[in-house]
């Protein structure tokens, strides 16, 4: 699968609630996982592969040989947040760009698995950060929207560069 890069318009569209938990959904999730591993990522949301479904995949190890932390979250929502912490983030839709983002340190998330089963989990540290980043994708929000003004200034040229290149590719 190809990953949609910034400023691809689908990245702003967000996801729609998944109703159909059939084999097509499982297929999409496993293709997304393979794409994520191949790109050395730790999370990937459906809009990043051009789909408008409300789901993302993640694995904090980023290692296809260690799938113990692998998760597929369908129709996720955050029920509660605790603490705040700055940490460095990147995004497969922004190759080579890293910036400090403030996120909650711990979250309670409710989602459905691929069978449609509702699950609730308390997560903290890195995996909580990934979930918050990926859930943003499902609302059309990107990590560069959440930067401090200093960080925004620091990455501004890189973003302008990506926007110009996308325009040039279209022309
Ligand atoms: Zn991302």
Token pair for 39:
């790109």
Round the average pLDDT of the chain to a whole number and report it.
97
Model confidence, pTM: 0.97
- 74-102 residue pLDDT tens: 999 999 999 999 999 999 999 999 999 99
Task: Please state, in angstroms and rounded to a whole number, the distance separating the CA atoms of residues 40 and 169.
Answer: 25
Q: How far is the CA of 47 from the centre of ligand 1 (A)?
A: 10
For residue 72, cis peptide bond before it (omega within 30 degrees of 0): no
- 12-32 residue pLDDT tens: 998 899 999 999 999 999 999
pLDDT of residue 9: 95
- 36-50 residue pLDDT tens: 999 999 999 999 999
pLDDT of residue 75: 98
Q: How far is the CA of 70 from the centre of ligand 1 (A)?
A: 17
Q: How far is the CA of 36 from the centre of ligand 1 (A)?
A: 11
Q: How far is the CA of 53 from the centre of ligand 1 (A)?
A: 15
pLDDT at 170 over 90: no
Q: Which positions are catalytic?
A: 134
Residues contacting 54, CB < 8 A, separation 6+: 15, 16, 17, 18, 46, 74, 75, 76, 138
Query: In the chain, what percentage of residues exceed pLDDT 90?
Result: 97
Query: In the chain, what percentage of residues exceed pLDDT 70?
Result: 100
Q: What mean pLDDT comes out for the span 137-157?
A: 97
* 9-170 CATH, one of 3.90.45.10, 3.30.2090.10, 3.10.129.10, 2.40.240.10: 3.90.45.10
């Amino acid at each position: 699968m190809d990953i949609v890069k910034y400023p691809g318009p689908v990245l702003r569209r967000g996801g729609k609630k998944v109703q159909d938990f059939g084999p097509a959904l499982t297929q999409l999730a496993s293709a997304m996982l393979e794409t994520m591993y191949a790109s050395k990522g730790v999370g990937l949301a459906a809009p990043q592969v051009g789909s408008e479904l409300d789901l993302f995949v993640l694995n904090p190890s980023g290692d296809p040989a260690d799938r113990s932390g692998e998760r597929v979250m369908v129709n996720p929502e955050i029920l509660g947040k605790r603490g705040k912490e700055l940490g460095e983030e990147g995004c497969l839709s922004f190759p080579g760009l890293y910036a400090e983002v403030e996120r909650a340190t711990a979250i309670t998330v409710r989602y459905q698995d691929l069978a449609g089963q509702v699950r609730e989990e308390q997560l903290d540290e890195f995996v909580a950060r990934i979930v918050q980043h990926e859930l943003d994708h499902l609302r059309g929000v990107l990590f560069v929207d959440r930067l401090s003004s200093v960080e925004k200034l620091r990455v501004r040229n890189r973003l302008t560069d990506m926007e110009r290149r996308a325009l040039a590719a279209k022309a």
